Amino acid sequence: MKIFKSVLFTLLFSTFFVSCSSDQDDEKPTVIEPTPTTVDLTVEKFVYRGMNDIYLYKADVPVLADNYFASEEAKNDFLDNYASPEDLFYDGLTASQDRFSFIVDDYIELENSFSGISKTSGLSYGLVRYCQGCSEVFAYVRYILPNTPAAASGLKRGDIINRVDGQQITDANFTQLFAPDAFTVGLATLEGSTITPTDETFDLTKIADYNTNPVFISKTLDVEGQKVGYLMYNSFTADYDPQLNDAFGQFKADGVTDLILDLRYNGGGSVRTATDLASMITGQFSGQLFMKEFWNAEYQAYFESEAPERLLNNFNTSIKSGDAINSLNLNRVYIITTGRSASASELVINGLNPYINVVQVGETTTGKFQASVTLYDSSNFGRQNANPSHTYAIQPLVLKSVNSAGVSDYINGLVPDIEIFEDYRNLGTLGEVSDPLLNAAVNAVVGNRISINNDFQKYEFVGESTMKDLNYQRMYIDKVPTLIEK
């Protein structure tokens, strides 16, 4: 009986299951259509449009060719392949030889950096490796900005820092360690090649919207009866052109006969300011060619045909404000450089070389001869009427500089006439002859032959305090020129 009931139950259940299955097969399944999504490529389209139009190395990036994409849809598919506008810019649109073009997602911050406005503790430092192949890094203090927490702390040029918040600085963590708005640095001693931590520490905080005057030191030295101007100039910041011009006005009033221009930590800046600085040093070449620009093929052909004067940067008689330039009319200048001297600093040297005797003292420069411009998402890439939906901007290289003798492409830097390296054990005081580089320049001015000691341990450069600044080692023009109609 129990067996019969089990069999009957099984037959009934099977019949029910088949019946239900048959009913389901007769019904069409409900298909849920995916909701179409619209990919917002506003920023990517702007980035592509800018690079396709004005990029110096357009010819070296196949996807930037005007006829590369068969349709707008194909171009959009290409743009959509990148996870972010940054990935598109760096991985898809920049040439392999380009070390300096960049993109930002906040052009207000970029504009502030060009005006010398930043968040800083006031500590300017370089970073070098303990030894070849090791990861440990120490920072050496270059200078302290006035009226900052670092100035109040008592830190000074030549101090050695090997710890931040108790952690050893390495090539992997230095960005992270110096990033917070407040941190503590620990000092060390450097004797020979031995770095020994000390118990001395300094607490630092960063202040926002600090205005950095690039005219760091301006003074007249009395050297064996000669009036020698000394100018430590740390950035070609156009907002401070009046202060730069005032410094040369004082040099004129003091009757200087020679000038030592210290660009050892100057990573560059405004092309116009560099042209004006060269005009302040000289004055006798007004209207003559300081630097000629070379753009991508389309722009170059357009300028040469329609506006050849647009390619010429001539020695000026006034700064951008309209004030007359205070010129020294020198036939010789002494310029201090290091491997951190770049772009507009190199432009001054290269532009002056065909006209006067430029005596370069120090180390070989970075090797940057290209200039960029800020492009905004507007019809003419200008700031006015920029797309309000985002704050992206790109800063592509758009031209290379060539001096009046045709010299450019100094990719390996400009080599000094008098080679002398900074020794972190003996940096001396900036603006005083105790500074070995200034001492070498002063002796060159008066014609003294001195023995220069470069026989000390050199350290591999790892970074510096300004390397995360948006305008780091940049040379730029003020605005986008009249664009070619496509």
- 424-469 pLDDT, tens digit each: 999 999 999 999 999 999 999 999 988 898 999 999 999 999 998 8
Show Cβ contacts of residue 226 under 8 Å, excluding neighbours closer than 6 positions: 257, 258, 445, 446
- DSSP state letter for 348: H
What mean pLDDT, rounded, does the chain reach? 92
38, HSE (Cβ side, Cα atoms, 13 Å)? 2
Tell me which of 265 and 10 has the higher pLDDT: 265
Q: Does the predicted model carry a pTM greater than 0.75?
A: yes
The residue type at 205: T
Residue type for position 289: L
The predicted pLDDT at position 474 comes to 86
Question: Tens of pLDDT along 50-82?
Answer: 999 999 999 999 999 999 999 999 999 999 999
Residue in this structure with the two tokens 């201090």, named with its chain if needed: 336
**Separation CA 150–CA 221 (nearest Å):** 28
Domain ranges of the chain: 42-98, 118-210, 212-373+401-452
Check residue 13 and give its pLDDT.
Answer: 38
User: Which candidate, 77, 81, 57, 207, places its Cα nearest to that of 145?
Assistant: 207
User: What per-residue confidence (pLDDT) applies to 478?
Assistant: 87
CA–CA gap between residue 243 and residue 215 (Å, rounded):
7
Check whether 284 has a pLDDT greater than 50. Answer: yes
Q: What pLDDT does residue 486 have?
A: 43
pLDDT at position 37 is: 56
DSSP assignment string, 320-342: TTSPBP-----SEEEEEE-TT--
Q: Greatest CA separation found in the chain?
A: 131
Residue 25, helix vs strand vs coil: helix
3 state DSSP class of 454? coil
pLDDT digits (tens, 9 = 90+) for 75-127: 999 999 999 999 999 999 999 999 999 999 999 999 999 999 999 999 999 99
Cα distance between residue 395 and residue 103, in whole Å: 6
At 470, the pLDDT band (50, 70, 90 cuts) reads confident
User: How does pLDDT run across 188-246, given as a tens digit for each residue?
Assistant: 999 988 999 999 999 999 999 999 999 999 999 999 999 999 999 999 999 999 999 99
Which amino acid appears at position 377 of this protein? Answer: D
Strands 226-233 and 258-262, by their bridges, are: parallel
pLDDT of residue 30: 56
pLDDT on residue 479: 84
Residue 221's pLDDT is 97
CA 291 from chain centre, in angstroms, equals 21
Residues 9-35, mean pLDDT to the nearest whole number: 43
Distance CA 328, CA 247 (A): 11
Q: Which of 396, 399, 374 is nearest to 386 (CA)?
A: 374
pLDDT of amino acid 20:
40
Do 374 and 110 meet the contact criterion of CB atoms below 8 Å apart? Answer: yes
Residue 89 DSSP one-character state: I
For the chain, what percent of residues have pLDDT higher than 70?
A: 91
Question: What is the pLDDT at residue 9?
Answer: 36
SS3 content of the chain, % helix, strand, coil (to 5): 30, 25, 45
CATH superfamily ID and name for 212-373+401-452? 2-enoyl-CoA Hydratase; Chain A, domain 1 (3.90.226.10)
Cβ pair 230, 431 in contact under 8 A: yes
Please check whether the two domains, 118-210 and 212-373+401-452, share a CATH topology. no
- For residues 271 and 297, is the Cβ–Cβ distance under 8 A? no
CATH of domain 118-210: 2.30.42.10
